[in-house]
Amino acid sequence: MRGSTDPNRTAGRRRTRGAAGVVAAAALLLPLLGAAPSGAEPSPQNLQEAFASAAAEYRVPQSVLLGVSYLQSRWDTHAGAPSVTGGYGPMHLTDASTALATATPHHSEGTEDPRGDDARPALRTEGKLPDPEKLPARLRTLPKAAELTGLSPERLRSDPAANVAGGAALLAAAQKKLGEPLSDDPADWYGAVARFSGTDNTATAKAYANDVFDVIRTGEARVTDSGQRIALAARPGLAPDTGQLARTGLRHVSAAGTECPTTVSCEWIPAPYEQFGDGDYGNHDLGNRPAAQSIDYIVVHDTEGAWEGVLNLVQDPTYVSWNYSLRSTDGHIAQHVKAKDVAWHAGNWFINAKSIGLEHEGFLTNPDAWYTEAMYLSSSRLVRYLAEKYDIPLNRQHILGHDTVPGTTTATIPGMHTDPGPYWDWAHYFTLLGAPFKSARAKSGGLVTIRPDYAKHQPVFTGCTTAGEPCKAHGSSAVRLYTDHDENAPLITDIGLNRAPTKGVNDLSSRVSTGQQYAVADRWGDWTAIWYLGQKAWFHNPSAQPTAVPAAGAVVTPKAGKESVPVYGRAYPEASAYPEGVPAQAVSPLPYKLLAGQRYVVGDKVPGQYYYAVTFDGSNHKVVTGTDQYYEIQFGHRVAFVRAVDVDLLPSVRKSR
C-alpha cells in the first residue's frame, strides 16, 4: 500500500474502469438455533482453564475447541485487536464492518504501474470496494455469539475467556443445527467444525475441518502472545465422521481448471483477457511458461481490501491481475490466471514475466491486524506446491514480498509498492514452508540472516492511521538500520527515493526483513553493520535477543580494478539479442553503485531476458534471451541485479576489524 496518486505523473492514458460488479456476499448458513444464553459472565481464569470451562458449559469436546482455536489464531489473543477481516480473540469471532470501512484497493493507489513494462503505456487502475454494510455471515460471527451466550459484543472482543465461550456456543449451535448429539467424542463433531469455518462451500469446509482434526491428531503446545502455555494432547487414532459434510447444506465448488494442491480448497475465477480496441487490452498476457521462459519467483502481496471486492476487481478487464487470491477467514483460494500466462501485479515486467503473484486478504498499515493460521497454512501449501512444480528455491530472493521487487528504472523507484509490510510473519511462513531460517553452523561465514523474534521485536513505526503519529506496538519482521552503532544516529538514506528517511510504515529506506541475508561489514559491541545500498548500515543485534544469526553462502564484489559497478532493477538482454520487429529495451542502471570492497549476497544467476508482449494477439509474443548473464543480489530492502562480467563471485568470508 502507498499514498495517493501523484498528480504530476502523466505517462500513459488513464483507463476508464467499467462498473464494478455487485458484491456477491451470499448469506452463509451459520446456525440460527443453538444453546440458550446462559447470561453468566465467564469468571477470571487462565486461557487453558477458559477452554475447559467453555467446553463443559456448552458440551463441546475440549480438543475440538482447542483445535478450532489453533487454526484460527494459534491461541493468541492479540490484546483484543481485530484480525485483517475483523476477527477477535483466540476463536476469531468476526465483526468486520469497521475493518473494511477503511479499505483501499491495493493496486489503485500510489504511482506504480502494475505491469511495469516501458514498451507499453503505463497502466492506471481504479478500484471500487464492497459496501461494508453488506457483509457475508462469515464476517459477522461475533454478534451471533453474543446472541447465543448473552455476553456483550465488547466483552467477546476484549475478554479471551468470553471469546472462547462464544466460540463454544457457535460450535454447539452448529452441532444442533445438523441434528447431531452434543457428544463427548470429538469424532462426532466434523460437520460442526466444517460449519464453523463460515464458508458457503463444501471444498473449503472440508479443508478447514481436515486441518482442525490434523491438529487434534498430532497435538500442539505453545506459549501464546500473552505468555500463557496452552497444550492440546495428541489423539493419533482419531477418525472423524466425514460423512457429516454432506448434511451441512453447503454448496459444491469445483476445483476444475485450477492449479492447486489437493490439500487446499481452490476454485477457478478467471481474470478476463479482453481486447478494447485501439491496440488496448487487459488484464494479463498469454504466455507459454515454463516452456518459453522459466518461472523463478513467487510474489507475496496483501490485498488492501476485502475478499468480495478483490474478486470484483480481478474480474474487471480494465483492472489488473494476479494469479491467486487467498481468503483470511478460512484459507480458501481462488485462481485467476494460469501459471503459463503472465499476470500484471508486481510493477516490474521482468519479475512479472517470471513470477506467480499471490494476493492475501489483508491490510498493511493496521499493526493490530493479524492473519489467521488458516490462511498462512493454505498459502504455504500453495507455495510449496508451486515451488516444487517449477523448481523455485524456498528463500527470500525467490519468494519475494511485493516490497522487495525492485523498480525498473530510477523514475519508478519511488512509486513501488510496500506490501505485505513489516507485520507479515516471514519466520512463521517459512517454517510452514518447511524451510525455516536457521543459524549457520560456521560462525565465520561473514553473512547474517535477519531473524528477530517476531513477537518480542517491536520497532516503532509511524503513519498507520495518522501521518507522523506512532503506530500501536506490535511484533514485526522488520529491523531498522542506522548510519552508526547508535539508535540516535541518522537513519540510512535510500537515494533512489529522493527524500529523507523516516520511520513511516511504508518507508523502506532503512530497514531489512526476516529471512533476508547480507554480508557483514563491521561489528561494534551489540551492533552489526552490513553492506546495504552501497553503504555501511548498522542495526542493534544484542546477544541476549539477537535480530540476526550467522549465515554462509556466495557473495559478489566488483572485479579488481573497478571502483564501482552499476546496479539494475531488471535483467534485460543486450541490444544485439533482439530480433527484427522487437524493439530493444534500454538496459538502464538504477542510481545506486556497488562499490569496491563491498559484498552482497547472491540469490541466483540469470540470463538477460525480455518477454515482448504488447499486442492482444499472442502469436506476436516472443521471449528474447541474451548472452549477458546477471546475478540477482540482496542489495537493499529490495533485490537488484548486477552484470556477471562486472563482478567476482566469492564464498563469504568474515572481515576482521
Q: Are 537 and 524 within 8 A, CB to CB?
A: no
Structural element, H or E, at residue 62: helix 62-73
State which amino acid sits at residue 76. D
For residue 127, pLDDT beyond 70: no
Mean pLDDT across the stretch 596-617? Answer: 96
Buried/exposed code over 576-592 (b: 16+ C-beta within 10 A; e: otherwise): ebbeeebeebebebbbb
Q: Which SS3 state, helix, strand or coil, does residue 334 take?
A: strand
Q: Are 247 and 180 within 8 A, CB to CB?
A: no
User: How are beta strands 355-360 and 399-401 bridged, if at all?
Assistant: unpaired
For residue 245, pLDDT beyond 50: yes
Q: Alpha-carbon distance 401 to 398, whole Å?
A: 9
Q: CA triplet 582, 644, 603: central angle to 5 degrees?
A: 100
Q: Alpha-carbon distance 191 to 463, whole Å?
A: 44
Q: How many CB atoms lie within 10 A of CB 223?
A: 11
Q: Which SS3 state, helix, strand or coil, does residue 258 take?
A: coil
User: What's the pLDDT score for residue 652?
Assistant: 78
Give per-residue pLDDT as tens, 146-202. 999 999 999 999 999 999 999 999 999 999 999 999 999 999 999 999 999 999 999
Where in the chain are the domains? 47-96+135-247
Q: Are 86 and 101 within 8 A, CB to CB?
A: no
Quickly count helices (H) and strands (E) in the chain: 12, 28
Q: Which grid cell sits at 468?
A: 507522523
User: What's the pLDDT score for residue 307?
Assistant: 87
Any idea what DSSP says for residue 357?
Answer: E
Q: Are 31 and 177 within 8 A, CB to CB?
A: yes
State which amino acid sits at residue 43. S
State which amino acid sits at residue 303. T
Q: Alpha-carbon distance 363 to 259, whole Å?
A: 26
Buried/exposed code over 410-436 (b: 16+ C-beta within 10 A; e: otherwise): bebbbbbbbbbbbbbbbbbbbebbebe
* Nearest C-alpha neighbor of 596 from the set 633, 557, 635, 640: 557
For residue 125, pLDDT beyond 90: no
Q: Alpha-carbon distance 92 to 142, whole Å?
A: 8
User: What's the pLDDT score for residue 106?
Assistant: 59
Q: Are 168 and 90 within 8 A, CB to CB?
A: no
Give per-residue pLDDT as tens, 330-378. 999 999 999 999 999 999 999 999 999 999 998 877 755 688 899 999 9
On average, the pLDDT of the chain sits at 88
User: How are beta strands 517-524 and 342-343 bridged, if at all?
Assistant: unpaired
User: What's the pLDDT score for residue 13?
Assistant: 28
Give per-residue pLDDT as tens, 423-468. 999 999 999 999 999 999 765 569 999 999 998 999 999 998 888 9
User: What's the pLDDT score for residue 391?
Assistant: 98
Q: Which grid cell sits at 393?
A: 528455491
User: What's the pLDDT score for residue 657?
Assistant: 41
Q: Are 487 and 540 within 8 A, CB to CB?
A: yes
* Nearest C-alpha neighbor of 341 from the set 273, 267, 248, 387: 273
Q: Alpha-carbon distance 281 to 175, whole Å?
A: 50
Q: Alpha-carbon distance 143 to 170, whole Å?
A: 11
Name the band, by pLDDT with cuts 50, 70 and 90, for residue 20.
very low
- Rounded to whole angstroms, what are the CA distances from 161 to 67, 80, 96, 186? 16, 11, 21, 21
Mean pLDDT across the stretch 267-296? Answer: 93
Q: Which CATH number fits domain 47-96+135-247: 3.40.50, 1.10.530, 1.10.260, 1.10.3470?
A: 1.10.530
State which amino acid sits at residue 350. F
Q: Higher pLDDT residue, 99 or 577?
A: 577
User: What's the pLDDT score for residue 574?
Assistant: 97
Q: Alpha-carbon distance 253 to 461, whole Å?
A: 42
Q: Which grid cell sits at 163?
A: 471469546
Q: How many CB atoms lie within 10 A of CB 35?
A: 20
Q: How many CB atoms lie within 10 A of CB 174?
A: 24
User: What's the pLDDT score for residue 623?
Assistant: 98
CA 286 to chain centre: 25
Q: Which grid cell sits at 210?
A: 481436515
For residue 44, pLDDT beyond 80: no
Would you state the torsion angle of the CA atoms of residues 519, 350, 398, 314, taken in this order, to the nearest 10 degrees? 140
Percent of the chain at pLDDT above 70?
Answer: 86
For residue 1, pLDDT beyond 90: no
Q: Alpha-carbon distance 657 to 648, whole Å?
A: 23
State pTM to two decimals.
0.87
Q: CA triplet 464, 358, 322: central angle to 5 degrees?
A: 105
Q: Are 219 and 79 within 8 A, CB to CB?
A: no
Give per-residue pLDDT as tens, 62-85. 999 999 999 999 999 988 888 888
Give per-residue pLDDT as tens, 393-412. 999 999 999 999 999 999 99
Q: Where are the alpha helices (DSSP H) in 361-462?
A: 373-390, 426-432
Phi, psi (rounded to 5 degrees) for 278 = 55, 30
User: What's the pLDDT score for residue 647?
Assistant: 98
Q: Higher pLDDT residue, 122 or 496?
A: 496
Q: Higher pLDDT residue, 577 or 86?
A: 577
Mean pLDDT across the stretch 224-233? Answer: 94
Q: Are 570 and 408 within 8 A, CB to CB?
A: yes
Structural element, H or E, at residue 98: helix 97-101
Q: Which SS3 state, helix, strand or coil, does residue 240 take?
A: coil
Q: How many CB atoms lie within 10 A of CB 367?
A: 23
Any idea what DSSP says for residue 193?
Answer: H
